[in-house]
Amino acid sequence: MNDLKRWMTMLACIAGLWSISGCIRVDYIGQKFPPLPEGKPVAFFDVKNVPPPGEYRVIGHAEVTIPGGYGMVEFREKLIETAREYGASAVRIVKMEKRLVNTYYESSRPSDSPMVASRSDLGAIPKSSGGGDLAVNSFNEVVTVKQNAREVYEHVAKVLFMVTPAEYDQVMNSREKVEK
């Protein structure tokens, strides 16, 4: 029964991690220009590398969520793909922060260690002064169950999507002609 409970707990942890790990999510707000052709380069600026004033005009912004497990290469590729989709010729990361999404605990108690009662059997079991759960062993002694905390993080970026003033004027002029 303990093995079944352990496997079910492990599967629940894996399902929880899978559900929060997902894909890189881009929540874009702004104008949609004609998509960029595949060969046209997209300029990439970060917090430290800022474009010169007047070189670009902002057409939109986004909050980008990067789950743990994704690196900067995938993040950059996703930003460039999104920029192409919305017709932006430049991307600038304005802010990047790391957020704690979840903490889960792994018990270091061996699976064959007999425990008479579990947390669910005894109701709310208090924590020991060291932070571990307390349990009752087969000798009816209250013992501390050591646990290793695992933290799951995601990164969140604030991003600007930009075009040159000439690109902006060209698109706006073509829209005005269509509206007339």
Q: Give the model's pLDDT for residue 139.
A: 84
In a domain, 122, yes or no: no
168 pLDDT higher than 50: yes
In a domain, 116, yes or no: no
Q: Cβ contacts of residue 29 below 8 Å, gap of 6+?
A: 60, 61, 62
CA separation, residue 131 to residues 2, 65, 125, 140, 141 (Å): 23, 32, 12, 21, 18
Strand boundaries in 46-89, DSSP class E:
57-67
160 pLDDT higher than 60: yes
**Residues facing 98 on adjacent strands:** 155
In a domain, 121, yes or no: no
Q: How many domains does the chain have?
A: 1
Question: What element of type H or E holds 156?
Answer: strand 147-163
Cα torsion through 75, 81, 84, 89, rounded to 10 = 20
Q: What is the DSSP letter of 83?
A: H
Range of the domain at 9: 2-103+150-179
How far is Cα 148 from Cα 42, in angstroms, rounded to an integer? 44
In a domain, 114, yes or no: no
What percent of the chain is modeled with pLDDT above 90? 47
Q: Give the model's pLDDT for residue 137.
A: 77
For 50-101, the pLDDT digits (tens) are 999 999 999 999 999 999 888 889 999 999 999 999 999 999 999 999 998 8
In a domain, 66, yes or no: yes
How far is Cα 113 from Cα 125, in angstroms, rounded to an integer? 18
In a domain, 78, yes or no: yes
In a domain, 126, yes or no: no
Task: Enter the tokens of residue 130.
Answer: 């060291």
For 100-137, the pLDDT digits (tens) are 888 877 655 544 554 444 444 444 455 555 556 677 77
In a domain, 131, yes or no: no
What's the pTM? Answer: 0.65
